[in-house]
Amino acid sequence: MPSTEATHSAPSDQAAESTVDDLTHQNVKSIAALEATAKISTGWGERLAMQIAGFCGSMLFIYIHLAWFSVRIFFNVSTMFANHPYPFPFFFLTTIVTLELCFLSAFNFRA
């Protein structure tokens, strides 16, 4: 009685690996081409938004805000200064932070 097993041999691992590497390389090239086309077709407003989003996602942005809010809180809480710039410093600070949140949430952070 003849055997019903498949007579096909599995491709070698090396051949399969080179095929996967070739496909991966081709996909990366395709994605790079699509991104280059998308970058060229974006308007100045979207490019500006991506620059702002990139800066707002950086550690420099965090350090600047940390320094700015620390100085504001120090000057408004410290007893060294008799004349405080704002009579209600934390309400005003909360308003600034909330407005900044509204402004920054308008950007798509896909940089």
Give the per-residue pLDDT at 28.
Answer: 93
Residues 6+ apart with CB under 8 A from 42: 50
Query: Could you tell me how far CA 1 lies from the centroid of its own chain?
Result: 65
Answer whether residue 107 shows pLDDT above 80. Answer: no
pLDDT tens digits along 9-61? 555 555 556 688 889 999 999 999 998 887 777 788 888 888 888 888 889 98
Query: How is residue 88 written in tokens?
Result: 């209600």
68, 74 contact by CB (below 8 A): no
User: pTM for this one?
Assistant: 0.52
